[in-house]
Amino acid sequence: MHLGNLCGAVQRWVTSQPAAESDAARDGAAVFCVVDLHALNGPYNPAELRQLTRELTTVLFAAGIDPNRALLFAQSHVAAIHTECTWLLNNVATVGELRRMTQFKDKSDGQESVTAGLFDYPVLMAADILLYDTEEVPVGDDQRQHVELTRDIAIRFNGRFGDTFTVPKATLPPSGARIMDLQQPSKKMSKSDGDSPGCVFILDDPKQIAKKIKTAVTDSETEIRYDTKAKPGISNLLDIYAACTHQSVAHAETQFSGQRYGDLKVAVADAVIEMLAPIQQRYHELSAEPGEVDRLLARGAARARERSAPVLERVRDAMGLLAPMR
C-alpha cells in the first residue's frame, strides 16, 4: 500500500466506520475487501501474492480498520459468490463500455498479450460493490470511472430485471484524490512501478520517506502556489501536505506562501512520517502475533458470505435461474 491509497481511499475507510456496538456495526455496514482476485490479471509471483495479501491486510488493520466496526476480508475467500455474480453481470455489461475504461486502455497499451481478466476486471469490481447493497464507495479519482460503470450496470440491470441492486455512488476526498508520482508528477503514484523513488510506501522507514520527498521533482521557479498544470510537483506536495494534516489545499497554500521549496519539502516529509509512524508501529505489533490476521480474515469472510449470499440469490432469481431444491 502506498501514500496515494491511504490519502485517496483508506483514510476515509477508517473514518467512515460506524461506532462500535451500534446496529450499523453489528449489521456489517462498512465492508472492505483485499482484492487478491484482481491481482491475478497481470504477471505476478504466486508466493509473493500470498505474502502481499497478508501484508496488505495487516497494514489495513494497522491503519485503523476495526474488525468490531467493519468487515474486512480477502476477495478470494468469498470467491464463489463474487465470481458467480461477475458471470451474471457479464451478461449486462458490454464490451464497448469495458473497452472505454481508462485503466484498461493504459494497462493494455503496447502489450502483446492482454488477459481476459484485465479486460473484465471492472465487472468483478462491480460485483464486489453491488453484492453488499453499497451506497457509497470511497475511492481515489482513478477509480471514479469504474464506480460510474458499476452504477450503469446496476441501473441497466434494475431496468431489465426489476429492482434488485442498490445504485452506489463514488465519494472522493477533498484533498489527496490523485496523489502523483514524486519523480514524474504528471502521472499518478502507483504500486505498478515497484520500489521507485517516486512512490512512498506505508512501510517505508522515515529516512526513505524523507529522501523520496527531498528529491521530489519540482520546477525552476521559487513560488509555492497550487497550479496543477504549471506546477505539478509543488501542487502534489501541497496536496499531500493537506491530506496528511487534514486541512484544505487552499489553507496549506497560504501557510507556505513566501517560503522556499526546501521548507515545503521538510514540512511534507515531517507530516507524512508523523502520519505513518503509529500505523507502522501497529503493523509491527500485529505482525508479531502469528495467526491473528488470518483469524480476522476468516471471521471477515464468514460475515461477508452472510451479507452477500442473499443478494446473489436475489440476482439469480431476478435473472430467471431455477432455484435448487433444498
Q: Which positions are annotated as active-site residues?
A: 107, 188, 191
DSSP string, 150-194: HHHHHHHHHHHH-S-S---EEE--SS-SSPBPSS-TTSB--GGG-
Interatomic CA distance for residues 233 and 299, integer angstroms: 43
Applying CB under 6 A, among 140, 185, 233, 300 the residue interacting with ligand AMP is 140
- Would the CA dihedral through 296, 299, 303, 308 be positive or negative? positive
Q: Per CB under 6 A, which region of 18-26, 175-183, 213-221, 225-233 contacts ligand AMP?
A: 175-183
- Rule CB under 6 A: choose which of 14, 85, 101, 189 binds ligand AMP: 189
- Applying the rule CB under 6 A, the residues between 237 and 266 that interact with ligand AMP are none
Angular region, 319: left φ>0, alpha ψ -120 to 50, beta rest: alpha
User: Between 1 and 312, whose beta carbon lies closer to ligand AMP?
Assistant: 1
DSSP readout, 268-325? HHHHHHHHHHHHHHHHHHHHTSTTHHHHHHHHHHHHHHHHHHHHHHHHHHHTTPPPPP
What's the CA gap between 28 and 67, in Å, rounded? 10
Nearer of residues 234 and 315 to ligand AMP, judged by Cβ: 234
Of all residues in the shown chain, the one whose CB is closest to ligand AMP is 8
Q: How far is the CB of 317 from ligand AMP (least distance, A)?
A: 31
In the list 69, 82, 151, 178, the residue contacting ligand AMP (rule: CB under 6 A) is 178
Cβ 52 to ligand AMP shortest distance, Å: 11
Instruction: Tell me: does residue 77 bind ligand AMP (CB under 6 A).
Output: no
Count residues near ligand AMP (CB under 6 A).
16
Q: Judged by CB, which is closer to ligand AMP: 7, or 311?
A: 7
The closest of 55, 33, 53 to 44, measured between CA atoms, is: 53
Q: Please, what is the minimum distance in Å from the beta carbon of residue 309 to ligand AMP?
A: 25
Which CB sits closer to ligand AMP, 56 or 269?
Answer: 56
Q: How far apart are CA 244 and CA 140, in angstroms?
A: 15
Among 184-192, 224-232, 286-294, 311-319, the segment contacting ligand AMP (CB under 6 A): 184-192
Residue tagged 480476522 (cell numbers): 296
Per-residue burial over 131-154, b = 16 or more CB atoms within 10 Å of its CB, e = otherwise = bbbbeebbbbbbbbbbbebbbbbb
Instruction: Determine if 143 is a binding residue for ligand AMP (CB under 6 A).
Output: yes
> What type of residue sits at position 100?
R
Cβ closest to ligand AMP, residue 7 vs residue 101: 7
Cell match 442473499: residue? 310
CA-to-CA distance for 258 and 14, rounded, in angstroms?
Answer: 35
Q: CB 177 → ligand AMP: shortest distance, Å?
A: 6
Nearer to ligand AMP, 8 or 233 (CB): 8
* Neighbouring C-alpha atoms within 13 Å toward the C-beta of 90: 12
8 near ligand AMP, rule: CB under 6 A: yes
Task: Report the nearest approach of ligand AMP to the CB of residue 2 (Å).
Answer: 7
- Of 6-14, 122-130, 221-229, 302-310, which part binds ligand AMP (CB under 6 A)? 6-14
> What is the contact surface with ligand AMP in residues (CB under 6 A)?
4-5, 7-9, 139-140, 142-143, 176-179, 188-189, 191
